[in-house]
Structure 1
């Protein structure tokens, strides 16, 4: 048998209930008594039975973070924010990876519900509103992040992707580029659709036609970025700029440009979406649209903790959850310059 709470109480010379309150941080316990109990717990190697505690309190003190992949650097930043904020509130984060598979995502959401997590932050596929609404109905706090679902009753936190993509495209147009390649995410996703809409709008604002030959849209994968770059270079050799709006694809775009012997920005100006520390150290440093990953994570945790503080609750009737946005920022570096023919 392991060390029990009763053993700790006996070693500290207090009742079991006092030991329990002391270890749970109750304000009703004097500081001297708490220190005495904590010292006894350390000496005896006591580990609280979280499962039993969860059954008694109906709280697991677990928060699920569900992401599509671990390639996306913004997801890393968000995971750090969620872990830090969760720990500060005495919650433990559980990370689940879906590989952007809607069926796997649905199974993970169901499993998290069965294990009684207190809350879930979902960076999802947008295909499982019914599963996340079921969690809400069962008393689990839910926040959609970066990618929402049309029928979701949970609040959604999105980046200002349309504005950010528009700023990036206008930046290149104002430098004098008129053949700007675009590598973006697939249709049907928040970031894929909104970033492409921003790219389109910038061309319209300048009274210029959109050349379909310059557009590549596909999955959030490095291999797509490499293949799309090769196709654009072959199809439009006169291209003078490239906007890589699909973040995961960037990991394939950059080596493809190097392999093709493309000099940035002499031969081709480059702008990427979502900042990564090593993009600042690339030669030359790469112009980016910073989507505010840290702020996205902070706001998602704020909304999740608000739900937890309210005791969680039922799905709102006759309306979907509200959408909150975090602004994007264009960060100009040396990879974008005027084309040589201007």
Structure 2
């Protein structure tokens, strides 16, 4: 006969409810008791019936983590935070990658609904707010992070993208740059809109307007980063600084600069939006806008956990937006502009601190 939870509890000398909490990873159980229960379960060959448990408790102990891609370093940080926090609370995480495709995202959200997940964290496309609302109506917690959704009742945890982009552009302007290129995301994403708005406002604050020939906006991908950088270098050899505001594009921006023989900061000053470890070890180290990815992950999980524990928190009002502060981290990739235009060879083929969190209504 199959070993039951009651058999495990008896062997460990604890109650059935204590054995259940120990095996689910509850933080209310002492390490000594947890160890005794887990040892008994292994010795008896116990295999929990998750489906039956979910039916009894109306909880699957599953959390869906929906992400556009595995390129973005901030997504990695948030995934790590969510996984660790979920494990500590006795949940398992289902990772789903959508390739920033709204149709794939829609399919994933439906699949998670069918599996009766208790909560969903979404770094998404900005669409499918109706399915988010359907999940919340069914009692599932939902939180958007980094990229919000148009409409809907799910709360969003966003970085202060406009302020961060403004600080980056202001830094370059204060060094004396006026020919500042921009490689950024599409306006369909809130980060794409807000970072460009920060860039534009900083230029206006210094009496300058946006020069369309200095701007490349496109998909969140390394391929676009390479393409956009090549276009700017070819079109505007007088460019003295570049703000790479599309993080995924940075993986194409830097190799392109190297392939063209562009030296940082002698030929070009560079600021990238969102940090990653190898930007610190790049030669020279790259100045960045730190979007507080760890704090974004912690705050979004706090909101999700509150929703899952308190049904009254499940989206009774339009989605609230929470902001995590962004800050400029100055390194060695920026300097005052050179005195002569950047004349680049055309024959070389290109190769493929603590943050403040405040809610806003």
TM bucket (normalised to shorter chain) is over 0.9
The SS at the match of 1:296 is helix
Question: How far does the alpha carbon of each residue in 1:240-294 deviate from its partner, in whole angstroms, 9 at most, with x for none?
Answer: 0000000000000000000001011000000000000000000000000000000
Equivalent-residue separation in structure 1 for 2:260 and 2:28 (angstroms)? 69
- Tell me, yes or no, if the aligned pair for 1:223 and 1:252 is still in contact at 8 Å: yes
> Which residue number in structure 1 is paired with residue 339 of structure 2?
341
> Which residue number in structure 2 is paired with residue 236 of structure 1?
236
Query: What count of residue pairs does the alignment treat as equivalent?
Result: 337
The SS at the match of 1:90 is coil
TM-score by length of 1: 0.93
Q: 1:128 to 1:267 in 2, by over 3 A?
A: same
- Tell me, yes or no, if the aligned pair for 1:138 and 1:314 is still in contact at 8 Å: no
1:152 Cα deviation from its structure 2 partner: 1.6
> Which residue number in structure 2 is paired with residue 332 of structure 1?
330
| 1:100 paired to 2:100 | yes
1:47 Cα deviation from its structure 2 partner: 2.4
1:149 Cα deviation from its structure 2 partner: 1.4
- Tell me, yes or no, if the aligned pair for 1:119 and 1:142 is still in contact at 8 Å: yes
Equivalent-residue separation in structure 2 for 1:306 and 1:109 (angstroms)? 20
Q: 1:32 to 1:84 in 2, by over 3 A?
A: closer
> Which residue number in structure 2 is paired with residue 169 of structure 1?
169
Q: 1:176 to 1:92 in 2, by over 3 A?
A: same
TM-score by length of 2: 0.88
Cα root mean square deviation, aligned: 2.2
Question: How far does the alpha carbon of each residue in 1:180-217 deviate from its partner, in whole angstroms, 9 at most, with x for none?
Answer: 00000011111000000000000110111221100000
| 1:24 paired to 2:21 | yes
Gaps of 5+ in 2: 341-361
> Which residue number in structure 1 is paired with residue 134 of structure 2?
134
> Which residue number in structure 2 is paired with residue 222 of structure 1?
222
Equivalent-residue separation in structure 1 for 2:27 and 2:289 (angstroms)? 46
Equivalent-residue separation in structure 2 for 1:193 and 1:341 (angstroms)? 33
> Which residue number in structure 2 is paired with residue 283 of structure 1?
283
1:309 Cα deviation from its structure 2 partner: 1.6
Gaps of 5+ in 1: none
- Tell me, yes or no, if the aligned pair for 2:21 and 2:29 is still in contact at 8 Å: no
Q: 1:314 to 1:208 in 2, by over 3 A?
A: closer
Q: 1:113 to 1:229 in 2, by over 3 A?
A: same
Deviates more, 1:255-264 or 1:304-313: 304-313
| 1:111 paired to 2:126 | no
Question: How far does the alpha carbon of each residue in 1:80-126 deviate from its partner, in whole angstroms, 9 at most, with x for none?
Answer: 00001101111111110000000110110011011010000111111
- Tell me, yes or no, if the aligned pair for 1:288 and 1:331 is still in contact at 8 Å: yes
> Which residue number in structure 2 is paired with residue 160 of structure 1?
160
